[in-house]
């Protein structure tokens, strides 16, 4: 008992200290201590105000709250191939309709411009030229994707699918133009449209050089392309045409509705004009490619006719030998030259003379 009383003052404080330390470790961190991170699909998220970007990169939910506290501020959220769960969370944060979120999460949409409530959905096709040494039956010339732009009063969300049409350069160029960025979310929509049309013209320039090389090869005397190569390029042009041509109607619809701010209207009119040039070039490529294909098919037909004439010529030469040998192979007793000493050599000489005469005649008329 004496020993227990002596250790008691030291045992109680030590036990309480361990108990308190264990309880403090078992308690979870408060929400203020946990730093939220954006999903992997988020490329960039920032708040813009008065033509400038606020420093830092925050969670999109925090960015929405920060933009709501500032006057004339908006959020630009950039996404790359998000899944449906991520888009559902973003839709709840930004107040998007669930169908809008589902459509944005899916890929392969055609160009369209539509408004649901106070949110405008603009879809554009992206394009990228694929470098290749020579055209083959499986060459990929144009790589396409799509980008969806969701425009709200205080936010803009860009959702990109595919490798083509990266928007990092668009964000950097737009941040370097504060006067244009001060126009709000529609400035981002203009910058994306401008970038896509610029890519169309760039791809058209590369394709034009491919068509020129293909045209030279088609009409060359020593080497002609395979028809399968031309068909492959035609399939690639059909894909490129599906990306460029359908954008005309949605862009014109935006300009006619009056939803575009007055400060950005001239810029979008300029984009429409350059898009018309891209459409004209793509239509010209289609016609030129059809002409090259028809010319190559005509060459193939001529080559086949020449081959058939050569085959028929050699068949005629062989037919003369066959006829002479067939007559002397019927084993009749009364036939000319059968009992002559040199009758066999005479028959061979007759075959040779017939072959030479037929060959010179067919060569003269161009069949051989």
Are the C-beta atoms of 236 and 140 separated by less than 8 Å?
A: yes
Give the start-end residues of each E strand in the chain. Answer: 42-49, 52-53, 73-80, 112-116, 119-129, 142-151, 155-161
**pLDDT band at residue 204 using 50, 70 and 90 as cut-offs:** very high
Q: What's residue 329's pLDDT?
A: 67
- 39 has pLDDT over 80: no
Q: Which domains does the chain carry?
A: 42-301 (3.30.460.20), 302-364 (1.20.58.340)
Contacts of 295 (CB under 8 A, 6+ apart): 218, 219
Are the C-beta atoms of 156 and 122 separated by less than 8 Å?
A: no
Polymer length of the chain? 368
Work out the average pLDDT over 336-353.
72
> Hey, what are 283's tokens?
């239509």
List the one residue out of 88, 95, 64, 89 whose CA is nearest residue 77.
64
- Residue 193: how many CA atoms within 13 Å on its side-chain side? 30
pLDDT tens digits, 104-151: 898 888 999 998 888 999 999 999 998 887 777 777 889 999 999 999
Instruction: Indicate the range of 2-6, 107-111, 208-212, 215-219 predicted with least confidence.
Output: 2-6
Average pLDDT of the residues of the chain? 81
Q: What's residue 367's pLDDT?
A: 74
Predicted structure pTM score: 0.73
């Amino acid at each position: 008992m004496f020993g227990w009383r002596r250790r008691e003052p030291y045992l109680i404080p030590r036990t309480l200290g361990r108990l308190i330390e264990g309880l403090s470790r078992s308690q979870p961190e408060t929400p203020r201590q946990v730093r939220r991170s954006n999903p992997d699909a988020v490329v960039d998220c920032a708040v813009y105000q008065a033509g400038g970007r606020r420093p830092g990169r925050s969670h999109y939910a925090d960015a929405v709250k920060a933009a709501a506290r500032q006057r004339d501020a908006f959020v630009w959220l950039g996404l790359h191939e998000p899944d449906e769960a991520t888009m559902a969370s973003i839709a709840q944060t930004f107040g998007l309709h669930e169908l809008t979120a589902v459509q944005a999460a899916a890929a392969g949409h055609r160009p369209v411009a539509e408004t649901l409530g106070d949110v405008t959905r603009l879809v554009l096709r992206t394009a990228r030229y694929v470098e290749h040494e020579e055209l083959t039956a499986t060459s990929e010339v144009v790589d396409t994707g799509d980008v969806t732009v969701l425009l709200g009063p205080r936010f803009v969300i860009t959702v990109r699918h595919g490798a083509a049409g990266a928007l990092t350069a668009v964000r950097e160029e737009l941040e370097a133009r504060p006067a244009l960025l001060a126009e709000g979310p529609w400035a981002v929509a203009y910058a994306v449209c401008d970038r896509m049309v610029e890519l169309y013209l760039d791809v058209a320039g590369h394709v034009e050089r491919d068509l020129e090389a293909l045209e030279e090869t088609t009409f060359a005397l020593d080497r002609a392309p395979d028809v399968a190569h031309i068909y492959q390029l035609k399939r690639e042009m059909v894909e490129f045409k599906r990306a460029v041509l359908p954008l005309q109607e949605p862009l014109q619809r935006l300009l006619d509705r009056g939803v575009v701010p007055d400060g950005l209207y001239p810029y979008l009119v300029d984009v429409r004009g350059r898009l018309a040039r891209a459409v004209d070039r793509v239509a010209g490529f289609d016609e030129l490619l059809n002409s090259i294909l028809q010319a190559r098919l005509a060459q193939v037909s001529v080559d086949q006719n020449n081959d058939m004439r050569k085959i028929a010529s050699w068949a005629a030469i062989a037919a003369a030998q066959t006829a002479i040998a067939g007559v002397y192979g019927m084993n009749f007793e009364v036939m000319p030259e059968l009992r002559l000493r040199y009758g066999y050599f005479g028959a061979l000489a007759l075959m040779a003379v017939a072959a030479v005469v037929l060959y010179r005649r067919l060569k003269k008329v161009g069949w051989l």
